[in-house]
Structure 1
Amino acid sequence: MEEKLSTSRDFDFETGRWNVRHRRLKERLTGCREWEEFQGTSETRAVLGGNGNVEDNLLNFPGGAYRAIALRSFDPASGTWAIWWLSANAPHQLDVPVVGRFEDGTGSFFAEDTLRGEPVSIRFLWLQTDTETPRWEQAMSRDGGKTWETNWTMDFTRA
């Protein structure tokens, strides 16, 4: 029988202040191969007694800076995390949550959403979480996850 956790420490690696190097495809799911790179900062703190956290981001896009947060919560009953994105560009709209878990130091999170009115699968990966340089990747799929296009990466270094 699998033991259920009452408190998760999966995201403890991200607590604190970070410098972030962003790399993002200019267009998603169009065959675009042109990337834009920009800097940002991030600060993460625990909430919900350790079963959640808030990541406050400043993204210095080439077209101008803006703020956004990632809001995460852990469900001890299912052993899964949900992650929502809230942007200052759409302050009354939480994105569809990606849901998943960590296994062997890698976090894998999935959701079904739409892009330009078409259904897409979304995948977030947290990689290298046991190092001083964790990485987040976002990918999308039009074929239910058979193939993925990575369209955004974030490389973190301690501030």
Structure 2
Amino acid sequence: MTNSAHDFDFLHGHWRVDHRRLRQRLCGCTDWDRFDGTCSAQPLLGGEGNVDDNLLHLPGGSYRAATLRAHDARTGQWSIWWLDGRQPHRLDVPVVGRFDHGVGTFFADDVFDSRPIRVRFRWTDMQTASPGWEQAFSADGGLSWEVNWTMRFHRLPD
């Protein structure tokens, strides 16, 4: 097994982020909001984790959020938590997964609008100047997926 503790090293630094988010989720909506933001990521836990600070400029107003990632050296998997500054008392259920063949895929079971869902995060294009991230929900146990949020990262000078 390769040392997967460095999987997220590509993200360290400062970024401008282009966001695209479905206005409504899991109801057949095809209308997207587009907005920008920033992200600053740095390692922690001696390189076995990282954290990023995000500023998102939603159409209805800006907010801050943070992502915490921790690597399990025993399994090679990552756990990823999202903390939304608008709900500072709630840490989202972690998505758990790994990178394989240049794609990072992470899953969690959660609840959305009082119904159980499966959540998927996917990281792509990490070796390019514009890495990509997407979030998808499944209401049928992973048989079908609705991508509801995408981000494209553009590195800023230090």
Q: Normalising by structure 2, report the TM-score.
A: 0.97
Note the alpha carbon deviations across 1:52-76, whole angstroms, 9 max, x for none.
0001100000000000001000000
Q: Give the alignment partner of residue 87 of structure 1, picking from 84, 89, 92.
A: 84
Runs ≥4 in structure 1, deviation > 2 angstroms? Answer: none
Is 1:99 the counterpart of 2:121? The answer is: no
One-letter amino acid matched to 2:58 = F
1:116-135 mapped onto 2 (5 Å cutoff): 116-135=113-132
One-letter amino acid matched to 2:65 = A
Which residue does 2:5 correspond to in 1? 8
Which residue does 1:108 correspond to in 2? 105
Q: Give the alignment partner of residue 41 of structure 1, picking from 38, 43, 46.
A: 38
Q: Normalising by structure 1, report the TM-score.
A: 0.96
Take 1:123 and 1:35, find their aligned partners in 2: how far apart are those partners?
Answer: 19
Which residue does 2:69 correspond to in 1? 72
CA RMSD of aligned residues (A): 1.0
Is 1:55 the counterpart of 2:55? The answer is: no
One-letter amino acid matched to 1:64 = G
Which residue does 1:17 correspond to in 2? 14
Note the alpha carbon deviations across 1:95-123, whole angstroms, 9 max, x for none.
00000000111100000000011000000
- Structure 2 residue runs of 5 or longer lacking an equivalent are none
- Displacement of 1:147: 0.5
Take 2:103 and 2:47, find their aligned partners in 1: how far apart are those partners?
Answer: 19
| C-alpha contact 1:4 1:76 (8 A) present in aligned 2 | no
One-letter amino acid matched to 1:31 = G
One-letter amino acid matched to 1:139 = A
| C-alpha contact 1:4 1:77 (8 A) present in aligned 2 | no
One-letter amino acid matched to 1:152 = W
One-letter amino acid matched to 2:69 = R
Note the alpha carbon deviations across 1:32-58, whole angstroms, 9 max, x for none.
000000000000000000010001100
* Aligned-pair identity (%): 53
Which residue does 1:143 correspond to in 2? 140
Change (3 A) 1:87 1:23: same
